[in-house]
């Protein structure tokens, strides 16, 4: 150690020790202690400078330069370690998987969500056969969601257990006869049939993809929030044959050529007759070669035309509604609907 005179050999040894201690330092307090030991009033640099005085005049400049170099080097090492400890403490605060802000962006431009991909596929295909796209609103009134769709007041879908109603104080009393009901989150996209028919005169051909809501308890096959795509074609002389042709087009678009489908009689308040469509395909993994229920459809009920002021003796039409999650799950062999909403990149990246 340097005391009164200067012993360059022990100065070297001292510096090596300081360097090692710096490497071991894990906290700012340890670095501060070293800083004092080197640069403080009793620190080694100051003592060495003092010691210069006892050297012969002609040796002072060269030894002084050596001390100065050492001083600069230690200053730099201490500052560097201090910065490293800053970043160590910062990453510790961020938890086990620290974010490294200095890394550049990923090359991947991202991909469309699997539900969006299905939606785009339907939009693109139906655009080719002259259907335009219509949009409704996610918050609706009972009239659009049920009454205009010929759904009686006591229908189970209107139950508080099945539909999300907004609080009573959001009820609007407006001059419009359509807006005097309770607000709700639409339970199907069939509301867009009504919205479109009120605005436009037949003939019309629309699809209406969008988000829908039901009070389902969330599990692998149920989600309170899901997506549907509605289809509606109204003109003079539309028949079940037209419906079948368009369903054939829709299912082939989604599932490829190798499928069969059948219409099974069913019931919806807003279509008469109503059908459930089942399909069968060789390419659906564990669900291959069996009938799978895929969508609901039917011929627009004359009561619906009456509600929107269409002449039900002149016009006829068909409507269908398909669940997009259902299609994506079948196509991709996904067995848990919750995966669609968790934004887990390990899931989403599989659909690029």
**Residue numbers of the site for ligand PHE (CB under 6 A)?**
188, 190, 268, 271, 296-298, 319-321
The H or E element that residue 275 is part of is: strand 271-281
- DSSP alpha helix (H) spans, 183-342: 191-199, 240-255, 302-308, 324-332
Distance of CA 208 to the CA centre of its chain: 21
Considering the complex, what minimum distance in angstroms separates the CB of residue 240 from ligand PHE? 13
Least distance in Å: CB of 312 to ligand PHE? 16
Shortest Cβ 268–ligand PHE spacing (Å): 4
Q: Is 51 or 317 the residue whose CB approaches ligand PHE more closely?
A: 317
Is the Cβ of residue 268 or residue 340 nearer to ligand PHE in the bound state?
Answer: 268
The least CB distance from residue 187 to ligand PHE, in Å, is 7
SS3 content of the chain, % helix, strand, coil (to 5): 45, 20, 35
Query: Do 117 and 351 meet the contact criterion of CB atoms below 8 Å apart?
Result: yes
Q: Which is nearer to ligand PHE, 83 or 293 (CB)?
A: 293
CB 46 within 8 A of CB 70: no
Q: Is the peptide bond before 300 cis (omega within 30 degrees of 0)?
A: no
Rounded to a whole number of angstroms, the minimum distance from the CB of residue 164 to ligand PHE is 15
- Which residue in 279, 275, 323, 266 sits closest to 297, CA to CA? 275
Q: Shortest gap between Cβ of 190 and ligand PHE (angstroms)? A: 4
Least distance (Å) from ligand PHE to the CB of residue 307? 15
**What is the rounded distance in angstroms from the CA atom of residue 200 to the CA atom of residue 216?**
34
Task: List C-alpha distances in Å: 137 to 141, 160, 208.
Answer: 10, 20, 11
Q: Closer CB to ligand PHE, residue 188 or residue 205?
A: 188
Query: Least distance in Å: CB of 222 to ligand PHE?
Result: 14
How far is 190 from 321, CA to CA, in rounded Å?
7
3-state secondary structure of 196: helix
Q: For the CB of residue 286, give the shortest distance to ligand PHE in the complex, in Å.
A: 25
In the complex with ligand PHE, which residue's Cβ is closer, 150 or 271? 271
Q: Closest separation between CB of residue 291 and ligand PHE, Å?
A: 18
Say how far apart CA 262 and CA 275 lie, in whole Å: 9
Place of tokens 């639409």: 186
Cα 143 to Cα 236: distance, rounded to the nearest angstrom? 26
The number of C-alpha atoms within 13 Å of 201 and in the hemisphere containing its C-beta is: 2
Other Cβ atoms closer than 10 A to 291: 14
Q: Which residue is nearest to ligand PHE (CB)?
A: 321
Cβ neighbors of 247 (< 8 A, separation 6 or more) are: 261, 263, 277, 295, 297, 320
Partnered with residue 320 across adjacent β-strands are: 231, 297
């Amino acid at each position: 150690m340097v005391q009164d005179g200067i012993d360059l050999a022990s100065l070297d040894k001292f510096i090596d020790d300081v360097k090692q201690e710096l490497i071991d330092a894990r906290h700012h307090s340890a670095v501060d202690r070293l800083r004092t030991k080197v640069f403080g009033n009793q620190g080694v640099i100051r003592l060495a400078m003092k010691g210069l005085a006892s050297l012969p005049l002609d040796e002072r400049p060269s030894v002084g330069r050596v001390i100065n170099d050492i001083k600069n080097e230690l200053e730099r090492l201490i500052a560097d370690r201090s910065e490293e400890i800053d970043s160590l403490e910062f990453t510790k605060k961020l938890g086990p998987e620290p974010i490294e802000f200095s890394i550049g962006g990923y090359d991947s431009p991202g991909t469309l969500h699997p539900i969006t991909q299905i939606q785009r596929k339907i939009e693109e295909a139906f655009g080719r056969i002259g259907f335009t796209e219509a949009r409704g609103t996610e918050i609706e009134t009972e009239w659009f969601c049920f009454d205009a769709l010929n759904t009686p007041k006591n229908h189970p879908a209107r139950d508080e257990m099945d539909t999300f109603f907004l609080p009573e104080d959001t009820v609007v009393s407006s001059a419009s006869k359509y807006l005097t009901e309770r607000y709700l989150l639409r339970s199907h996209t069939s509301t867009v049939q009504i919205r479109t028919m009120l605005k436009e005169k037949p003939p019309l051909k629309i699809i209406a993809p969008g988000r829908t809501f039901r009070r389902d308890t969330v599990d692998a096959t149920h989600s309170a929030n899901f997506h549907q795509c509605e289809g509606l074609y109204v003109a003079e002389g539309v028949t079940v044959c037209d419906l079948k042709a368009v369903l054939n087009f829709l299912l082939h678009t989604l599932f490829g050529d190798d499928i069969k489908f059948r219409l099974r009689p069913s019931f919806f308040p807003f279509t008469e007759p109503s059908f459930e469509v089942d399909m069968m395909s060789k390419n659906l993994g564990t669900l291959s070669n069996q009938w799978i229920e895929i969508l609901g459809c039917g011929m627009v009920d004359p009561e619906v035309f009456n509600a929107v002021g269409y002449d039900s003796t002149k016009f006829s039409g068909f409507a269908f509604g398909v669940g997009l999650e259902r299609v994506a799950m079948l196509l991709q062999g996904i067995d848990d609907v919750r995966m669609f909403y968790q934004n887990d990149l390990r899931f989403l990246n599989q659909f690029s």
